[in-house]
Each structure stands twice: as structure tokens, then as C-alpha cells.
Amino acid sequence: MGRGAAFFDLDKTVIAKSSALAFGRPFYRDGLITRRDVVKSAYAQLMFRLGGTDEQTMARTRDYLATLCKGWQVEQVRQIVAETLHELINPYVYAEAAALIEEHQAAGRDVVLVSASGEEMVRPIGELLGVTDVIATRMAVEDGRYSGEVEFYAAGPSKVDAVSQLATERGYDLGASYAYSDSYSDRPLLECVGHPTAVNPDRALRKLAVENSWPVLEFRYPIPLGRRLRERPAVPVAAAALGVGVGVAIGIAWYGRHRRTRATTATPTT
């Protein structure tokens, strides 16, 4: 029997927002996305919400993201993420999630972030948390630019494929492993380990957790890293126990709404 590992979904499980959404504003600022992209992405987000998390919907989302990112310079994306990480992500890491990650590490388990967001975003977030292993979406690159092809889309059953491969390489015992997620779309991930936990679950996942007697955690305290190191988590993980980054498309759709709201607020009245 091998040792167990702990697999964490990222958005709404470890951080209190969408990782891709968080970087939508600097991507717009630096010219990677346009107003037309905002409109198209708003439609893509609507289709995802209406269509759920079936394979066809996830495939459409994957293909749209590949087209959107085609031609972007990889180094520019990495630079944007590096420059804005502490402003856009650090304040939104759940204290309870950070404490839980530390508990697993102290118990000798490897911690792995598993997210549909791009590896260029997920890996720096992992480093912020002291996590070196990530499973994330990988875009194909040619001559330093995204080619418009997706090498690996870390969503749905594909997450389980990657987790299983990593378990084989590392000798993890999945029966002794843990998984955490907020989304019903991660049902395959949760079901592939011996210790699944729903965190801030959506309605469908909460129902599934109740039916299977899975633990349910509610994380409510995002605290910047500096404060966590000084004060430690204000609320213990045990006290929270009660029992999907679609991608850049969601982020830029949100930014479009945000700009319209600001424009309306700034309009002078007579």
C-alpha cells in the first residue's frame, strides 16, 4: 500500500474567486482581449451555465479558449500573472484551505492543485501556497506563442486520468487519498479517492455529498498570506465542518460587466 495524497480543486475551494476571472482585467489592459472578446465570452459563459458540465459543453468551452488564446505570447501571460498575483489572488486564499493544506503536508501527504485554469496561472498560485505539484490545462506552444491547440484540458474525467497517472508514477494509494472540490463537475475526481470532501458545494454537489455521507466544509475567511503567517487562521478547519475556472472566458465576461457598471456610476447627473 502506498501513501495517500491530497488533491484540491482551486476556484471556490482554495481561493474565493475564479482564478481565470481574476486575471481578466490585466489581460484586457495589456491588449490580449478586446471588447468583441468580452461579448463573445459573455455568450460562452451563458451557454456553459445553461448547458451544465456535460462533455459537449466542456468541449465547446475548451475549443473557444484555445481560439481566444491563439497567438498570445506565453512569456507575456506569465509576466502578467507574476506582476498581479499578490494583488489579485493572495487576498482571496481561504484561511481554512491554507490550514488544511498545511495539515496534509505535516502528515506527510503530497498536495496537488487540480484546476481547469491554465498552468501559467495555477502553478504560481501553488507556489504562493507552498504547493509544487499542479494538474492544470496545458496549451500547445509554437515559437513562444499559443498555437490554438489544447494539449490537455483539466476538466471532468480528464482530471481523474491525470490524477491516476500521477498516482501510478508516485505510488499514491488513491484509497488513502483525499480530494476537495466545490463543483458537481468534479464528481469523478471525488469518487476516485477514499476520502472525498465537498467544499462550499453547489446545489448538485451538496445533494451528492449528503447521499454519500461525504463531509461538507464551508470556507468563509479569505485572508492575505502575510496575515496568515502572523496570526494563523482565525477559524479552525474543524469548526467549518458540516458533515468548476471555466477559464479566461468567464474572467473577461465579468470584466465587461464591471466596465459597464463603472461607466454607469461615473455618468454625471443633471
Q: Which of 11, 37, 110, 182 is catalytic?
A: 11
108 pLDDT higher than 60: yes
Which of residues 194 and 88 earns the better pLDDT score? 194
Kindly report, residue by residue over 180-193, the tens digit of the pLDDT. 999 888 999 999 99
Q: Return the H-helix or E-strand segment holding 132.
A: none
Active site residue 173: no
Q: Where are the domains of the chain?
A: 5-227
Kindly report, residue by residue over 21-79, the tens digit of the pLDDT. 677 778 888 888 776 776 666 565 555 544 455 667 677 777 877 888 899 999 999 99
268 pLDDT higher than 90: no
> Which strands, in side-by-side order, build the sheet including 133-142?
145-152, 133-142, 110-118, 5-9, 178-181, 195-199, 216-217
100 pLDDT higher than 60: yes
Percentage of the chain beyond pLDDT 70 is 74
Q: Say how far apart CA 78 and CA 82 lie, in whole Å.
A: 6
Q: Is 3.10.20.310 the CATH classification of the domain at 5-227? A: no
104 pLDDT higher than 80: yes
Query: Which amino acid belongs to residue 133?
Result: D
Read off the DSSP letter of residue 241. Answer: B
Single pTM value for the model: 0.79
Percentage of the chain beyond pLDDT 90 is 56
Q: What is the pLDDT of residue 36?
A: 73
Query: Which amino acid belongs to residue 231?
Result: E
Q: What is the pLDDT of residue 30?
A: 87
Q: What is the pLDDT of residue 270?
A: 38
84 Cβ contact partners less than 8 Å away, ≥ 6 residues apart: 22, 23, 26
Give the bridge partners for 196, in sequence order: 179
Q: What is the pLDDT of residue 27?
A: 83
231 pLDDT higher than 80: no
Active site residue 11: yes
**Hey, how many other C-beta atoms are within 10 angstroms of the C-beta on 104?**
20
Which of residues 56 and 168 earns the better pLDDT score? 168
Q: Which of 9, 37, 110, 182 is catalytic?
A: 9
263 pLDDT higher than 90: no
Min mean pLDDT across 80-84, 173-177, 242-246 is at 242-246
Which of residues 172 and 52 earns the better pLDDT score? 172
